[in-house]
């Protein structure tokens, strides 16, 4: 049965997501005394699994878990009596009627609000080849910092030549016997400094310009089959662990029928204000069609959105006086 929390209590703002974008908006909303609920599965966002973030401005190096803890501490210090944090929850539906948004949570509870900031970020893209689903958690994994130590002294592969792939390889080199990074293209997408640093490691190997076509194994993974994109030559790389870093997909399915999205399902926003296609809705961070996705960009865009929605709410309140 659905329960509407405080039926008469229509909030100024519901923030969906507790990554860097959602938390930044929560802090700004608190300081502006907007009545707000921040709904999220967890606080911290995607880089929580990172061992070392080196571009969080003002901090030379911080782990993902430390960053998550500091975001939560900052939010809790400022949330005061206007911002509620609803953790361990998930928004499943958003509806719109008479300038009021109705937000349904996983627990079937319902919240009502005048404005919404969508900051739901993105999730890892799954490897879609023969054997990948069958061997998930039996050698195929999506989290080096969670599962990496299980592969101590073993030969492992990382699929993906972007920053996440190289960061994963760096973590694994601390305990794996060897790391083979497999990439679709001839050139890597990761930062040249990171690539140059890792390629110097004696246990680091790369296989480029290949399509991954199959994960092989018996009870657990025993190998990865790749095909050269020019010659069609097929090779088996003998590994017991496969770490997949082939990008992310935005968490926007629950609002796909309401907000305009691009072909990759990122929410389309006005980059000056972060306004989405429906009046009263803003979006920020990795769920948007912003060209670059980084912690600091997510925070900046969320701040921009919260400034803009604050003025929007204030203007509407005045026009009703
Ligand atoms: C391994 C890794 C390492 C990275 N390293 C760096 C780095 O070194 N430097 C850097 O700048 N960037 C890094 N990034 C990128 C950075 O993490 C993202 O750009 C950033 O987290 C985006 O923040 P966000 O708030 O938009 O979304 P996210 O961090 O994805 O947070 C989204 C939040 O929304 C919640 N959520 C999702 N759907 C719902 C829903 N329906 N209802 C309620 N809550 C929901 C999630 O639980 C999560 O809390 C890294 C990413 C990864 C994966």
Tens digits of residue pLDDT in 274-302? 999 999 999 999 999 998 889 999 999 99
Query: 310 and 171 in one domain?
Result: no
Residue 135 lies in a domain: no
Residue 59 lies in a domain: yes
Last residue of a domain, one of 244, 266, 284: 244
Query: 175 and 266 in one domain?
Result: no
Residue 74 lies in a domain: yes
Residue 261 lies in a domain: yes
Name the average pLDDT for the chain: 93
Residue 133 lies in a domain: no
Query: 113 and 70 in one domain?
Result: yes
Query: 115 and 26 in one domain?
Result: yes
Query: 163 and 233 in one domain?
Result: yes
**CB–CB of 224/236 below 8 Å?**
yes
Tell me what pLDDT residue 321 has. 55
Residue 131 lies in a domain: no
Query: 239 and 262 in one domain?
Result: no
Domain count, the chain: 2
Please state, in angstroms and rounded to a whole number, the distance separating the CA atoms of residues 158 and 147.
Answer: 13
Instruction: Name the band, by pLDDT with cuts 50, 70 and 90, for residue 113.
Output: very high
Q: What is the CATH number of the domain that holds 58?
A: 3.50.50.60
CA 172–ligand 1 middle distance (angstroms): 22
Give yes or no for residue 135 having a pLDDT over 90. Answer: yes
**CB–CB of 278/96 below 8 Å?**
yes
Residue 130 lies in a domain: no
Please state, in angstroms and rounded to a whole number, the distance separating the CA atoms of residues 114 and 156.
Answer: 50
3-state DSSP assignment of residue 182 = strand
Instruction: Name the band, by pLDDT with cuts 50, 70 and 90, for residue 145.
Output: confident
Ligand 1 binding pocket mutation candidate from 47, 57, 117 (most atoms within 8 A of CB): 47
Residue 112 lies in a domain: yes
Query: 151 and 165 in one domain?
Result: yes
**CB–CB of 138/239 below 8 Å?**
no
Query: 24 and 161 in one domain?
Result: no
Please state, in angstroms and rounded to a whole number, the distance separating the CA atoms of residues 113 and 95.
Answer: 11
Tell me what pLDDT residue 3 has. 40
Q: Cβ of 227: how many Cβ atoms within 10 Å?
A: 15
CA 47–ligand 1 middle distance (angstroms): 6
Query: 81 and 56 in one domain?
Result: yes
DSSP letter, residue 99: T
Give yes or no for residue 49 having a pLDDT over 90. Answer: no
Alpha-carbon distances, residue 43 vs 17, 71, 75, 118 (angstroms): 8, 8, 10, 15
Read off the pTM. Answer: 0.83
Q: Domain residues for 210?
A: 140-244
Please state, in angstroms and rounded to a whole number, the distance separating the CA atoms of residues 29 and 35.
Answer: 8
Give yes or no for residue 320 having a pLDDT over 50. Answer: yes
Ligand 1 binding pocket mutation candidate from 143, 166, 190, 295 (most atoms within 8 A of CB): 295
Query: 163 and 110 in one domain?
Result: no
**CB–CB of 18/41 below 8 Å?**
yes
- Closest C-alpha to 24, from 308, 313, 314, 300: 300
Nearest ligand 1 atom to alpha carbon 168: 1
Per DSSP, what are the bridge partners of residue 87?
Answer: 40
Ligand 1 pocket residue status of 50, Cβ below 6 Å:
yes
Ligand 1 pocket residue status of 247, Cβ below 6 Å:
no
Dihedrals φ, ψ of 135, to 5°?
A: -100, 15
Ligand 1 pocket residue status of 19, Cβ below 6 Å:
yes
């Amino acid at each position: 049965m659905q329960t509407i929390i405080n039926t008469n209590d229509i909030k100024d703002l519901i923030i969906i997501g507790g990554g860097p974008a959602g938390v930044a908006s929560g802090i700004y909303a608190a300081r502006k005394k907007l009545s707000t609920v921040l709904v999220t599965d967890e606080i911290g966002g995607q880089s929580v699994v990172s061992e070392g973030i080196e571009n969080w401005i003002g901090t030379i190096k911080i782990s993902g878990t430390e960053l998550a803890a500091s975001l939560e501490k900052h939010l809790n210090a400022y949330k005061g009596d206007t911002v509620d944090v609803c953790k361990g929850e998930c928004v499943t539906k958003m509806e719109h009627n008479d300038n009021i948004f109705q937000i349904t949570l996983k627990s079937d509870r319902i919240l009502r609000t005048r404005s919404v900031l969508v900051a739901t970020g993105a999730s890892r893209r799954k490897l879609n080849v023969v054997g990948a689903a069958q061997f998930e958690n039996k050698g195929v994994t999506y989290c080096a910092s969670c599962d990496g130590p299980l592969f101590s002294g073993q030969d492992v592969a990382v699929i993906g030549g972007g920053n996440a792939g190289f960061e994963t390889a760096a973590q694994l080199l601390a305990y794996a016997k060897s790391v083979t990074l497999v990439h679709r293209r001839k050139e890597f997408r990761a930062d040249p400094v990171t690539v140059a640093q890792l390629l110097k490691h004696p246990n680091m190997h790369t296989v480029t310009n290949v399509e991954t076509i199959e994960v092989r194994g018996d009870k657990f993974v025993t190998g990865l089959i790749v095909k050269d994109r020019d010659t069609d030559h097929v090779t088996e790389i003998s590994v017991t662990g496969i770490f997949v870093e082939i990008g992310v997909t935005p968490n926007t399915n629950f609002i796909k029928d309401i907000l305009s999205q691009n072909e990759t399902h990122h929410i389309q926003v006005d980059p000056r204000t972060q306004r989405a296609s429906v009046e009263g809705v803003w979006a920020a961070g990795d769920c948007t069609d912003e060209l670059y996705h980084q912690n600091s960009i997510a925070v900046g865009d969320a701040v921009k959105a919260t400034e803009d929605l604050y003025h929007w709410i204030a203007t509407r309140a005045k026009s009703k006086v």
